[in-house]
Amino acid sequence: MEPTMEYCLAQVLQKDVGKRLQVGQELIDYFSDKQKSADLEHDQTMLDKMVDGLATSWVNSSNYKVRL
């Protein structure tokens, strides 16, 4: 199953640190592939939620591995 924007957002917003660490590479792959992430350009609201979720949940995380 190919990840969707909704799936990626749900992964970003989850609280489990272990799962966050596992999904990091999956998110990079999703954002790097233009065919998989074609919906990014069309759904600005979802993209805003994704960036906000990354900034608040990951960058400000107390776990240094998640911040990286």
What CA–CA distance (Å, rounded) separates 8 from 58?
13
CA 21 to chain centre: 11
Q: Which residue ranges make up each domain of the chain?
A: 3-56
pLDDT at 2 over 70: no
pLDDT confidence bin for 42, thresholds 50/70/90:
confident
What CA–CA distance (Å, rounded) separates 4 from 64?
27
Q: How buried is residue 28: exposed, middle or buried, by Cβ count under 10 Å (0-12/13-18/19+)?
A: exposed
What mean pLDDT do residues 36-62 have?
76
pLDDT at 21 over 70: yes
Mean pLDDT of the chain: 77
What CA–CA distance (Å, rounded) separates 59 from 51?
10
Cβ atoms 8, 30 nearer than 8 A: yes
